[in-house]
Amino acid sequence: MSLSRRQFTREFKLAALQRLETGASVAEVARAFEVNPNVLHRWRREFRQGPGNAFPGLGRRRWEEGRAAQLERKIGQQALEIDFLKGCLQRIAEQRQLQALSPQPRSTRKSQASERDGSR
């Protein structure tokens, strides 16, 4: 026979915490709700850290929400990088167009003569 972990609903946890708030001791509430006192301490700590985020429910939901936020930040960062690189490519393309349109500097007679002589 294998032992499976008990799963408690958010309402169950909140009811236990509410009973603690009415002045009952941790030992009394642990006996009444048939849970380990350490579990009650953990639930109270989680609830105090963030009542809205405490007891999210099934399994890995907290991790998934954190992961989603992390991926959204990464997407935002990559979008900024892409925009920056597009701007760089656009400036390079504009510079190449300007170079193609501008006439090549003609050599002067002096520079032509020095090119032939190999001097200067």
Q: How far is CA 44 from CA 12, 13, 17, 21, 30, in A?
A: 13, 9, 7, 10, 13
Instruction: List the chain pLDDT tens, one digit each, 120 residues.
Output: 566 778 888 889 989 999 999 999 999 999 999 999 999 999 999 888 877 777 766 544 555 667 778 888 999 999 999 999 999 999 999 999 999 888 776 666 665 555 566 655
- Determine contact, residues 20/32, Cβ cutoff 8 Å: no
Q: Residue for token digits 């890995």?
A: 60
Q: Domain ranges in the chain?
A: 7-57
